Chains A and B, each alone.
Chain A
């Protein structure tokens, strides 16, 4: 039963990623695209964690952690760029 619900969950999260992709392509403004990217990061983390349970492997943890960190840094850098026109000051 657990396996079935994990597969359903994978499907649901994949659908969520598709919706985020839709926003990433449609925009219409830059902040919308940053937000869509940020959502995609979190969706990917959830996908990886579910995949990790499904494949019974703890290896996915590191990947998920790295994506969490890099995603946050990316969001901050992009927002800063919009805010100041510059990332490093």
Chain B
């Protein structure tokens, strides 16, 4: 494996792991449910995407032929993350989950 390739893989995997961590930090640290929703849906999903891209590159290089099946998980994650987030937000609104006081309610210029 050439050195630059190893470097690229390491960078992708570490970036993915770091983004996953950021998502979980957001989940643990932010004050109310609606704000917590942002960390996992965005940062964690992109982190997963980066790690899976690294996996595609690694196995393609390893076996000598293009191995794209990790792309399926990536696509699935990117399609389902917003759907899941939307449903959870809807459920939370329905349940009247607390939001922190300084949350704005903005209805646009009428």
Interface residues on B, range: 35 or more
How many A-B residue pairs have C-beta atoms within 8 angstroms? Tell me: 160
For the complex, would chain B's binding face be called helix, strand, loop or mixed by DSSP majority? helix
A46 touching B73 in the complex, CB below 8 Å, given contacts A31-B92, A34-B91, A35-B37: no
List the A residue with the shortest CB-CB distance to B5.
Answer: A2
A19 touching B91 in the complex, CB below 8 Å, given contacts A39-B40, A46-B16, A53-B58: no
19 residue pairs of the A-B complex, CB under 8 angstroms, read: A1-B6, A1-B7, A5-B14, A6-B13, A15-B24, A19-B25, A29-B33, A29-B92, A35-B33, A39-B40, A42-B23, A43-B24, A43-B44, A46-B17, A49-B51, A50-B17, A53-B55, A79-B84, A82-B95
Which 8 A-B residue pairings sit nearest by Cβ, starting from the closest? A9-B17, A5-B10, A16-B24, A19-B24, A82-B91, A79-B87, A31-B92, A12-B17
